[in-house]
Amino acid sequence: MAETTRRNFLKNTAKAAVVAGAGLTLEEILGGCATISFKETAPVIYPPLKGHKVQPPNDGCLIGFFRPSASFGQPVPYGCEDYYQDKLGQKPAILVALMQYLPYFFPGQVSEKWAKKGITPIVYAGVDRPQFKSIPTGKYDDDLKQAAEGAVQYGQKHGGFFLNPMWEMNITSQHSPYPYGDQAGQFKKVWKHIWQIFEEKGANKYATWVIEYHTDFSLQGYFPGEQQVDWIGLSAYNRTIHQRHYGYRSLEDLISQPYHYFRTNYPNKPVMLAEFATTVEQKQAEWVQKAYQSIKSKPGIKAAIYWDNKNWQLGDDHSLTTDSLETVKEILRDPYFIMAK
């Protein structure tokens, strides 16, 4: 969509933009859709992280996926590493362990299987409403200590892993399904409390902390601190429900402004696309191809995880079609995109 058309579209639908996950001012909407020009010299080499955390590659981008198992309630998607081996001819460098609520014990049997195949898990760990209010008081410390001890056991055997607590916390409370949405002050208290327990148990030698921002909402006010964050994650979707208000958006449209913001304000923190995807439609393969081109054009992005699934809550299917999988397979022939070794 041409920029003038996009701006006219947004002006005509500004009043409607507070529904279906928007919740932004017109200025924020226009800013979020604008492509920000930000040039940097490649390769981007970040300072090494302490301990045995997941290090960003000096050159290239780690490639990952989320694909739920047939039994969606399982804490980890079973067998998806074999699925991608079959479809892409390679195993992903990263796979997502499904969201879990406290007490979240570190995934065992399946993530062990992944580790033996050179795959790094990213563990999504959420909290429910009572926990979000009470964690800083110490009420759930026993659960957290047990989680941290499990993380140490895994780390001693397999090394670093990603930990992504309370993802997309910056979505406004009007639209967020999460109890921690749009509560920056309490969010930071909870984050720091969990981090401190992991620190005391020695788990932070291995736990690589990812803070994940949704690209359609405010990026300010949620950062817990330099010490408590290792990677900065972005969540970026081109969904049908969003297209009603924003129009069709490329990954470049979705991430340019946030990428510029974080590379400018937190230049020592590696960036990952913790979630990105586009709705199933005729243009999906084309969108995906341009998306990976955009990722390569931003050398500060060191990991990218495509969410190959259906979001039943939003009624949106962004699972990769056969054509899109073939497109991804061809893209991943480029050694810049790093798969499991």
Q: Is 7 helix (H, G, I), strand (E, B) or coil?
A: helix
Query: In this structure, what DSSP letter does residue 205 have?
Result: G
Q: Which of 101-110, 174-183, 187-196, 260-269 has the lowest mean pLDDT?
A: 101-110
Cα distance between residue 249 and residue 239, in whole Å = 9
CA neighbours closer than 13 Å in the CB half-sphere of residue 222:
25
CB 230 within 8 A of CB 303: no
Report pTM: 0.88
Average pLDDT over the chain, rounded to an integer? 86
pLDDT in tens, 153-189: 999 999 999 999 999 999 998 888 899 999 999 999 9
Q: Is the pLDDT confidence value at 3 over 60?
A: no
Cα distance between residue 181 and residue 188, in whole Å = 12
Cα distance between residue 240 and residue 139, in whole Å = 41
Q: Is the pLDDT confidence value at 76 over 50?
A: yes
Residue 66 pairs in a beta bridge with 307
CB 279 within 8 A of CB 238: yes
Q: Among 80-84, 101-105, 127-131, 254-258, name the most confident range.
A: 254-258
* pLDDT bracket for residue 14 (50, 70, 90): very low
Give burial (CB, 10 Å; 0-12/13-18/19+) of 336. middle
Domain ranges in the chain? Answer: 3-36+53-338
pLDDT in tens, 145-163: 999 999 999 999 999 999 9
Which CATH number fits the domain 3-36+53-338, given the four candidates 3.20.20.80, 3.40.50.300, 3.20.20.70, 3.30.565.10? Answer: 3.20.20.80
